[in-house]
Structure 1
Amino acid sequence: MHIPFRIISLVPSLTETLCDLGLHTNIIGCTNFCISPKFISKTAKIIGGTKNPDIDLLLSLDPTHVIVNDEENTTNDIQTLYEHARENSFTVIKTFPKTVFDSTKIIEEFGKIFLSEKKAKQWIQAIENEFNKLQEIEKLNLHYIYFIWRNPWMVAGDQSYIAYLLSLIGLNNQIKTSQLLSERYPKLNESMSIDFLKETDLFLFSSEPYPFKVRHISEFFQTHNLGMERFLLVNGQNLSWYGTRTLKALQYLARLKKQILDLKQGGK
C-alpha cells in the first residue's frame, strides 16, 4: 500500500539520504542547496535557502513531515515550524548528528518512519563495515586547521562533525571551541602567533561552503608569511554531509590519509 508521505527537507545531506532510501517521489520541497541528486531541484519545489526558507510557501505545500537540523537551519525557523506543526498536522524531525553512529541513527529513524527499513539497514551495514575498516588503519597524529570561508577566514572547530570525522584518521584540530552552536565555526583569530601557525602540520581548505581555489590559499599563506607546502584542498561534501553520505565520507578518509602521507613525504 502506498503511503502518501509529503516530505520537505531543509537539510541538503538528508535530502540525499531520503533519495537513497527510495523516497525521492515523496519529497515535495527542498532548499536551493539540495544539489544531490541533481534531479531533485526539478521534481521538488524550491522553498529558499537553509537559513531563509519561505515558511509560507512551505506551509502551502501541506507537508506531512519537515526535516531540519540545528546547524543548517536557524533556531527561529525551527521554532516557527514547531509552532505551526500541530495546527497544520505535520511532524518536525530535528537532527544534529555529531558522530558516525548519530548519522546511522538518522538513517534508521527515516527507515522506520517512512517504511523503508530494508534499504536503511543495507546502508547502515555498509557504513558500519567501512567504519570498522577505518579503525584498523594506523593513525596520523597531525595537527590541522580546516577552512570553510574567506573574508573573513572562518574555520571548523574541534566540536564539529567535520573534526570528528578527521579524528578517525588521527588528525587533531588546532581550533578549540565550546559546544555552543554560535562558536563551533569561528573566525580565525588574526592575532594568533606565527608560532601557532608554524606548529600546524596541515591547512585544509574545503570545497564548500566556500569554493576555495589555489589563488585564495596563496593569499592566506602570503598574508601570514608561510610556505605553501602544507595545504590540501578537500571535499567539503564528504566531510560535512551526513546520513547516507557517511559511507562516502569514510571511504574518502582512507584516500585522504594517503594524500596527506604523500604530501608529507614530498615536503621532506
Structure 2
Amino acid sequence: MSLVPSATETLTAWGVEPVACTRFCERPDLLHVGGTKNPDIDAIAGLAPDLVVVDREENRREDAEALTAVGLELVVLDVRSLDRLHDELSVLAEAVGVSAPDPVADSYPSLGLRAFVPIWRRPWMTIGGDTFGSSMLRRLGVENVFADATDDYPTLELDAAAALAPDVVLVPSEPYVFTDEHLDELASIARPVRVDGQDLFWWGARTADALDRLHRSLRDAAG
C-alpha cells in the first residue's frame, strides 16, 4: 500500500500494483484510504497490507506511528533531493522485490536562469532550497531565488519576490491551480512560464523524463 503519490506512480511503473492508495495518487481505479495527511488508519489496518510506503515530508509522523502501533510494516522514504533519489528508490525497490532503477543524469546544459516558483496564493508561498523541486531546478542550471529561505515552504509578499529580480516566474500546474488572471498578477515580477507541477515536484519513475521535459520547456524560456 502506498500513501505517497510519487511512490504509487513509481510502483505502478515497476509493475507493482498497490492494494490501496490516497485520493491524491491519481489512481481512481484503486481503493482510496484517505489523504496523505489524514489516512484512514482503521481502513488500512483492515486491508492487512504487507507493507505501507510513507515519506517523511509527504506524511505525518503521528500517522506513521499509528500504523506501526497496529502492527503494520512501513517503508519510510525521505526523498528531499535528486542526490538522494537513487538510494531511496533502491530501498523501495528492495522492499517490493524489483531491480533498483538506474540513477538519473548527473548534469544538463545549464539554463542560467533565476526563477521564482509560487506554489500557493492567499498567502503566496514558494519553495526553499532544501526541497525536491529546488534540487530539480539546480540540476537544470536554474537558481531558485528563495533557495536561502529558512523554511522549506515560506510565505511571502510578491514585493519580496520582485526584489530578488528573477528572470522568470515558473508557475507549476499543482499544488495550486493558477488562472490566467493570476499569471497577469505574477507578470509584474517577471515573465511567467507554466510548467508541469508533477514533473517538478513528483519523484521516482518519472524523474528522468521529467528532467528532459522541464529542460526543453525552460530552454525555450531562456531563449
1:163 to 122, 134, 145: 134
8 Å CA contact 1:106–1:243 kept in 2: the answer is: no
Q: Distance in 2 between matches of 1:190 and 1:234?
A: 19
Q: What residue is the counterpart of 1:19 in the other structure? A: 12
2:79 to 97, 116, 122: 97
Residue 48 and residue 193 in structure 1: after superposition, are their counterparts in 2 closer, same or farther (change >3 A)? closer
Partner of 2:117, secondary structure, is strand
The runs of at least 4 aligned residues of structure 1 exceeding 4 Å deviation read none
Q: Distance in 2 between matches of 1:48 and 1:242?
A: 21
Normalised by the size of structure 1, how large is the TM-score?
0.76
CA shift, 1:63, in A, is: 1.3
Q: Distance in 1 between matches of 2:158 and 2:186?
A: 11
Q: Distance in 2 between matches of 1:110 and 1:200?
A: 37
Q: What residue is the counterpart of 1:253 in the other structure? A: 214
CA shift, 1:150, in A, is: 1.4
Report the structure number with the largest CA radius of gyration: 1
CA shift, 1:191, in A, is: 6.0
Residue 193 and residue 252 in structure 1: after superposition, are their counterparts in 2 closer, same or farther (change >3 A)? closer
1:32 matched to 2:23: yes
Q: What residue is the counterpart of 1:3 in the other structure? A: none
* One-letter amino acid of the structure 1 residue matched with residue 90 of structure 2: E
Q: Distance in 2 between matches of 1:193 and 1:102?
A: 29
8 Å CA contact 1:212–1:233 kept in 2: the answer is: no
Give aligned pairs, total.
222
Q: Distance in 2 between matches of 1:200 and 1:80?
A: 43
Greater fraction helix? 1
Q: Distance in 2 between matches of 1:169 and 1:28?
A: 36
List aligned pairs for 1:71-90, cutoff 5 A.
Answer: 71-84=57-70, 88=71, 90=72
Q: What residue is the counterpart of 1:113 in the other structure? A: 95
Structure 1: gaps of 5 or more residues: 1-7, 263-268
CA shift, 1:11, in A, is: 0.4
8 Å CA contact 1:99–1:165 kept in 2: the answer is: yes
1:241 matched to 2:202: yes
Q: What residue is the counterpart of 1:47 in the other structure? A: 33
8 Å CA contact 2:78–2:88 kept in 1: the answer is: no
Q: Distance in 2 between matches of 1:163 and 1:136?
A: 15
Q: What residue is the counterpart of 1:5 in the other structure? A: none
Q: Distance in 1 between matches of 2:8 and 2:222?
A: 34
CA shift, 1:220, in A, is: 3.9
1:140 to 111, 114, 118: 111
Residue 191 and residue 99 in structure 1: after superposition, are their counterparts in 2 closer, same or farther (change >3 A)? closer
List aligned pairs for 1:119-138, cutoff 5 A.
Answer: 120=100, 124-125=101-102, 127-128=103-104, 131-132=105-106, 135-137=107-109
Q: Distance in 2 between matches of 1:20 and 1:9?
A: 13
Q: Distance in 1 between matches of 2:50 and 2:161?
A: 52
Structure 2: gaps of 5 or more residues: none
Percent identity among equivalent residues? 32
